[in-house]
Amino acid sequence: MRVRARGWLCLFLACGLAGWSCAAPADPPVWKAVPEVRDWLNGAEPQFEHLHLDLPLVSEEGMSVPLAIDVTSAMTPDDSIVAIRVFAAGNPQPEVLDLTLDPRLGRAVFETRIRLDESQTVLVLARHSDGRVFAAEQAVRVANSGCLARSEEAFDAPMGEPRVAVPDPFPADRGHGEVRSLILHPMETGFREGPDGEPLPRRIIEDFSVSLDGEIVLAARFHAAMSANPYLAFRLAPEQDGELVLRWLDETGEERSATRTVRVVD
């Protein structure tokens, strides 16, 4: 295809984007507007680079929106990403997911599934070990489709058995492999009424941690905007054989854990 009128095309693109975005151009950026974000930034100005987000442009139901985060980093002790925060300011609570990273992850690459209450811009921030903060954001249009609406079932299940997939073996020489984790849990937000009209009590998994040979390599705080049955995939670059323990703790105090043997190619 040949398009000479590139300016024309750009104009249409711009018009299209303007029609989709949730905030008027005059609004301050999310990182300035949301108090929880400002608090975490603590005066730092985010740089919109080194961080790549993968989110659908349109989600036909906001209950479980896949989100992938990829921060460019060697993840060495002197040059690593130490923390990542996900915000969805269009939700009743802007916090979605807090991650604290250790260089032993090998890569700052994550996949999860989140809840988006309405069309909005999702913001992800990543703090580097030298204090810089990288950022990326993306508008997601949530077009709730009755065709895809889920049936209303009251979740009353306790935490289920976790599922964990670990590469076997991991590649050698600090090569990283993807670990996938999922646990059955309603992640009841506390914003919903039960059949009797009374609010259903909030019940979410708040803490998730991953230890390698007894040392924590990834710590996460899940907020109510994590999808039910929270899913988190992350990378791990073990240097030697060892033991991996994943632990979930919900706010009623119930806990589940899973232990996996880690093998590294000789």
- For the bound state, the minimum distance from the C-beta of residue 195 to other proteins, rounded and expressed in Å, comes to 10
- Interior CA angle at 187 toward 151 and 190, to 5°? 90
Instruction: Say which residues have a Cβ less than 8 Å from residue 148's Cβ, sequence separation at least 6.
Output: 60, 61
Give the nearest distance from C-beta 88 to other proteins in angstroms: 9
CA distances from 17 to 14, 23, 59 (A): 5, 11, 16
- What's the DSSP call for residue 245? E
d(CA 24, CA 216): 42
In this chain, which of 47, 199, 240, 259 binds other proteins, going by CB under 8 A?
A: 199
**Six-digit token pair at 249?**
């703790």
User: Does 225 help bind other proteins (rule: CB under 8 A)?
Assistant: yes
Q: Give me the 162-181 binding string for other proteins, x by CB under 8 A, dash otherwise.
A: -xxx--------------x-
Reduced to 3 states (helix: H, G, I; strand: E, B; else coil), residue 8 is helix
Three-class SS of residue 67? strand
Q: Which of residues 109-148 bind other proteins (CB under 8 A)?
A: 115-118, 141-148
Q: Per CB under 8 A, does 62 bind other proteins? A: yes
261 scored as a contact of other proteins (CB under 8 A) = no
* Listed residue (191, 184, 202) closest to 252, CA to CA: 202
Taking CB under 8 A as the criterion, the residue among 77, 92, 158, 201 binding other proteins is 92
1 contributes a contact to other proteins by CB under 8 A? yes
Query: Tokens standing for 7?
Result: 């300016």
Query: Rounded to the nearest whole angstrom, what is the least distance from the CB of residue 131 to other proteins in the complex?
Result: 32
Contact residues: other proteins, CB under 8 A: 1-5, 8-9, 12-13, 15-16, 19, 56-64, 66, 90-92, 115-118, 141-155, 163-165, 180, 182, 184, 186-189, 191-193, 197, 199-200, 224-225, 227-229, 231
